[in-house]
């Protein structure tokens, strides 16, 4: 098959790094980067680190409101699809790039393959929830990462084309985890980050890793709440390391919010560094779906800065290591004290890394194999080239 793969954000670059080798071993692929990440330097580093091919089309569409950004992507994607004439369009996850890719394909009569189909937070106030629901209902191939995702699709009347494949991110994490399991990896990371945050010290179990990037956590009330929450968790001997998304950093600056001294803000880090920082931390505090899953595979305590999560199975099967705390600082403090008591945090972190044996999910091969079935009946060739 001839495919067009549409990505646009850092998590999608990671997923594509896991999936594209398997796809390109069987199919022809045209790689499109919408630019939703909004940071070409960050994206460039990821292409190099993850071994991703350079995009065949780079659209450079970052910034703007939800509707404006999606509309610009639609306008840019349609002529690419008409020119490239693929058999199908592959989209990932739940971003505006996902929605635009699915809509553009549907408008010109192309079938859609949705990687990470069926996830639901059941909160339609989240732009991501709207994006994933629409993408699923436009898709011909729906690659579900969990049994719950399959059940969610069935509840919405979607059964045809649904395949339970597992999580492509687990495939990549399994390949990378062994490379960063030695705590000595923190020495190089500390040296690299010290230029951005003087005095930062990284020791196994001696810091908390935080990530915040969701749109819902960029309004003024939310900004103040999670800044206070991270300040409440941070200590001189247990700092919070916060690789901050450029959009979130801009929102913090515009709001005039000052983070606590022991919250060390650094720029976005690469995939390998992110996985290492998670593995050797006392705990992770995040609103990221990808980081939630990675923490669950690594066995790292995870406090989720949202009121709901679409990764319900990860939470339910974590044995209490993953907790939805929202922006409740008092609850976050209590859960961190329970999950990573200071006197035991180093031992727990060292043992966790030493005993980790993460197996791949096999999702990438399962997706590539499912696409071998060829062109589905939903395709309308007469629509191409209109």
Whether the predicted pLDDT of 386 surpasses 60: no
Of 175, 106, 168, 94, the residue nearest 367 (C-alpha): 168
Give me 336's structure tokens. Answer: 């961190």
pLDDT of residue 198: 84
Whether the predicted pLDDT of 384 surpasses 60: no
Reduced to 3 states (helix: H, G, I; strand: E, B; else coil), residue 304 is strand
pLDDT of residue 199: 87
**What does the pLDDT look like over 174-205, one tens digit per residue?**
999 999 999 999 999 999 998 888 889 999 99
In this chain, the answer to whether the domains covering 2-167+361-383 and 174-355 adopt an identical fold is yes
Distance CA 69, CA 74 (A): 9
For 34-59, the DSSP string reads --TT--HHHHHHHHHHHTPPPPSEE-
**What does the pLDDT look like over 300-323, one tens digit per residue?**
999 999 999 999 999 999 999 999
Q: What is the CATH number assigned to the segment(s) 174-355?
A: 3.40.50.2000
* Mean pLDDT for the stretch of residues 364-372: 94
**What does the pLDDT look like over 16-34, one tens digit per residue?**
999 999 999 999 999 999 9
Whether the predicted pLDDT of 48 surpasses 90: no
Give the count of beta carbons closer than 10 Å to the beta carbon of residue 99. Answer: 25
29-65 in b/e form (b: 16+ CB < 10 A) is: bbbbbbbbbbbeebbebbbeebebeebebebebbeee
**What does the pLDDT look like over 99-142, one tens digit per residue?**
999 999 999 999 999 999 999 999 999 999 999 999 999 999 99
**What does the pLDDT look like over 76-90, one tens digit per residue?**
999 999 999 999 999
Active site residues: 213
Return the axis-axis angle of helices 220-233 and 246-255, rounded to nearest 10°: 100
Reduced to 3 states (helix: H, G, I; strand: E, B; else coil), residue 340 is coil
Ranges of each domain in the chain? 2-167+361-383, 174-355
Using CB atoms within 10 Å of the CB of residue 24, give its burial: 0 to 12 exposed, 13 to 18 middle, 19+ buried.
Answer: middle
Give me 111's structure tokens. Answer: 């079938």
Contact 238, 206 (CB under 8 A): yes
Which CATH architecture does the domain made up of 2-167+361-383 adopt?
3-Layer(aba) Sandwich (3.40)
* Percentage, residues of the chain above pLDDT 90: 82
Number of H helices, E strands in the chain: 16, 13
Q: How confident is the model at residue 161 (pLDDT cuts 50, 70, 90)?
A: very high
Provide the whole-model pTM. 0.89
């Amino acid at each position: 098959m001839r495919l067009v793969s549409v990505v646009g954000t850092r998590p999608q670059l990671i997923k594509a790094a896991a999936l594209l080798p398997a796809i390109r071993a069987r199919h022809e692929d045209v790689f499109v980067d919408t630019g939703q990440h909004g940071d070409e330097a960050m994206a460039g580093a990821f292409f190099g680190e993850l071994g991703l091919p350079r995009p065949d089309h780079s659209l450079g569409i970052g910034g703007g409101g939800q509707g404006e950004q999606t509309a610009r992507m639609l306008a840019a994607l349609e002529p690419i699809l008409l020119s490239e004439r693929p058999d199908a369009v592959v989209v990932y996850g739940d971003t505006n790039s996902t929605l635009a890719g699915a809509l553009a394909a549907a408008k010109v009569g192309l079938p859609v393959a949705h990687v990470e189909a069926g996830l639901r937070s059941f909160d339609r106030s989240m732009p991501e929830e709207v994006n994933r629901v629409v993408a699923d209902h436009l898709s011909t191939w729906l690659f579900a990462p969990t049994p719950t995702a399959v059940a969610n699709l069935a509840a919405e009347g979607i059964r045809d084309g649904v395949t339970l494949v597992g999580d492509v991110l687990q495939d990549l994490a399994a390949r990378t985890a062994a490379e960063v399991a030695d705590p000595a990896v923190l020495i190089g990371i500390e040296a690299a980050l010290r230029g951005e945050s003087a005095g930062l010290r990284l020791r196994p179990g001696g810091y908390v890793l935080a990530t915040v990037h969701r749109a819902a956590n960029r309004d003024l009330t939310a900004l103040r709440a999670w800044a206070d929450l991270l300040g409440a968790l941070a200590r001189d001997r247990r700092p919070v390391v916060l690789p901050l998304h450029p959009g979130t950093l801009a929102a913090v600056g515009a709001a005039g919010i000052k983070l606590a001294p022991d919250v060390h803000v650094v720029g976005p880090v690469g995939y390998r560094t992110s996985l290492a920082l998670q593995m050797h931390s006392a705990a992770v505090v995040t609103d990221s779906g990808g980081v939630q899953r990675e923490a669950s595979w690594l066995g790292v305590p995870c406090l989720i800065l949202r009121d709901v999560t679409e990764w319900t199975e990860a939470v339910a099967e974590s044995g209490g290591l993953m907790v939805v705390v929202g922006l409740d600082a008092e609850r976050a403090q209590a859960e961190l004290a329970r999950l990573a008591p200071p006197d035991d945090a180093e031992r727990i972190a060292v043992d966790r890394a030493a005993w980790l044996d993460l197996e791949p999910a096999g999702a990438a091969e399962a997706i590539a194999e499912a696409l071998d079935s060829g062109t589905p009946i939903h395709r309308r060739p007469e629509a191409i080239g209109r």
